[in-house]
Amino acid sequence: MIIDFHNHFFPKAYLDELTRRPYLATVTQNAAGQTVMVQKGDYNVIVEEHHNPAARCDAMDAAGVDMQVLTMTVPGVHSERPDDGVRLAQVVNDGFAEAIAQFPKRYTALAALPLQDPAAAVRELERAVGIGLRGGTLFTHVNGAALDGEAYWPLYEKAVALGVPLFVHPIVPTHVGLMGDYRIVAVTGFLYETTTALCRMVYSGLLERLPDLKLVAAHLGGTVPFIAERADRGFAVYPECRTRLQGKPSDYLRRIYADTFPETAKAIQFASEFFGADKILMGSDYPHQIGDLPGGVRTIQDMPISAADKAMILGGNAARLLGLG
């Protein structure tokens, strides 16, 4: 079975709600006549496959993909007022559940969470798992608040208790600055975001305290496989790195799962050597402009690795992680 772990879906009810009254996230038309979702610092061009599960099935068939793990992407729901965030999370997650009910062999999903209200996020994760979703999605900061903040630890404890993973996806950095041009936010800013969030979660002692917490990092873990030695070196020489962590950082970074988009075979190979082939999950970022569903599959199929590793990366690891029968 081939499972696309990293892709994005906006339920139609959610898109309709954004046009009903003002939110920080807005849906509008650009100069080219395309529908776009806009949040300060970034945007997404919305196509039919973003919200039509039947249309996605056609693209999946063409690429040879059996199942997708639906997730919401930027802007999330956490930038809105807390009460709006809770309601929008429910709209999104109910929409995910409807897509799963309509195509139970093609889709599963990870919940949108109202992270601006950590207690509500705990409740929504439990509710979403109760209606059939397989985990939740985090963003690399919550309106400037770091994911390693103790306010979020009950959410991580709940994920452990439920036995479900949390997908760490980047969002617009708090300080866009020089990334404001050339759409560098999405090109390199997202990798910075993921790397920083994961290193903070490790240095904070979170993964040491919760060894059963299952995290999945987008985009090969940002730059984590490439800077892990530096993380260890910092731990060895900087006392600030040792205030809440006892063990070597790379030991905890290696516990994290990572998806394979962008589809660079040598980078995937290096990440596989770092995390282990049993922690790499095929991803496509479909149907975003930067996404590539057939390429995401083909890259893994063409890599000079064993058939067993290909099978794990293409779907076996995701099936095991999500408890899919």
Cα separation of 75 and 171, whole Å? 7
Q: 96 and 70 in contact (C-beta within 8 Å)?
A: yes
pLDDT in tens, the chain (325 residues): 999 999 999 999 999 999 999 999 999 889 899 999 988 778 899 999 999 999 999 999 999 999 999 999 889 999 999 999 999 999 999 999 999 999 999 999 999 999 999 999 999 999 999 999 999 999 999 999 999 999 999 999 999 999 999 999 999 999 899 999 999 999 999 999 999 999 999 999 999 999 999 999 999 999 999 999 999 999 999 999 999 999 999 999 999 999 999 889 999 999 999 999 999 999 999 999 999 999 999 999 999 999 999 999 999 999 999 999 7
Cα separation of 312 and 296, whole Å? 14
Q: Which residues contact 307 (CB under 8 A, 6 or more apart)?
A: none
Q: What is the CA radius of gyration of the chain?
A: 19
Residue 77, SS3 per DSSP = coil
Closest to 226 measured CA to CA, from 270, 163, 279, 260: 270
* Residues constituting the chain: 325
Matching CATH number, 3-8+49-322, of 1.10.357.10, 3.20.20.140, 3.30.470.10, 3.30.420.40: 3.20.20.140
Q: Give the start-to-end residue ranges of the domains of the chain.
A: 3-8+49-322
